[in-house]
Amino acid sequence: DGGITQSPKYLFRKEGQNVTLSCEQNLNHDAMYWYRQDPGQGLRLIYYSQIVNDFQKGDIAEGYSVSREKKESFPLTVTSAQKNPTAFYLCASSRGQSNTGELFFGEGSRLTVL
Amino acid sequence: QKEVEQDPGPLSVPEGAIVSLNCTYSNSAFQYFMWYRQYSRKGPELLMYTYSSGNKEDGRFTAQVDKSSKYISLFIRDSQPSDSATYLCAMEYGNKLVFGAGTILRVKS
């Protein structure tokens, strides 16, 4: 089945540690995205990539980093510089090379900082 | 003021009821309007996608866009317990996509 796989589903981190969230897609989509979801707020865009080896900052990129070395993979690193990292993180992809609303989402990764 | 406003609910209805979910927006540049459904601890899935003002129907779901009032709605007929989820509206123009905060819907059997 085609889709987006995020791992791990749940992750606990101590303050000061970097963590990397995995996102893999087999939909052959060009564009991939990372969103953060907090209670009472809409999804907020962290980073997006429209093509391999290229990515752009979204609205809340500070404290995060990404890479796009392969079309299928778009990992997100939450660094120790992120002041409030506890959240639900969603990876998504879309067919086109523009930021289209027809997004396909993974099941999310819930990060908790202890 | 947020660009997209959505009442967070929760909205609780009996099974079989007609549900109305709504979003308002302030930016008249939005051209594409979407509704996503998100079950607990899952990622959102696209439910409806519309471009122009008017209605779009898909089974028990009807999406309505009123650009003059900057108001969009999602109607669910004959609601089922399986419709219990968070419903997110989203709007797009150019490369900008903005999500509402989501409305929690609970359908009681």
Q: Give residue A37's identity as a one-letter amino acid code.
A: Q
For residues A93-106, average pLDDT: 79
pLDDT in tens, A61-84: 999 999 999 999 999 999 999 999
Report chain A's mean pLDDT, rounded to a whole number.
93
Range B57-70 average pLDDT: 96
Tens digits of per-residue pLDDT, B8-51? 999 999 999 999 999 999 999 999 999 999 999 999 999 999 98
Residue carrying structure tokens 């990404």: A66
- Rounded percentage of chain A residues whose pLDDT exceeds 90: 83
pLDDT at A94: 93
Does the structure show a pLDDT above 90 at A112?
yes
Compare CB distances from A105 to B43, B96, B97 and report the shortest one's residue: B43
A98 falls in which pLDDT band (50, 70, 90)? low
Nearest to A98 among B8, B45, B95 (CB): B95
% of chain A exceeding 70 in pLDDT:
95
**Which of A92, A102, A95 is CA-nearest to residue A23?**
A92
Q: What angle do CA B89, A62, A42 make, to 5 degrees?
A: 10
Q: Does B87 touch chain A (CB under 8 A)?
A: no
> Chain A: nearest CA to B25, how far in angstroms?
13
End-to-end C-alpha distance for chain B, whole angstroms: 37
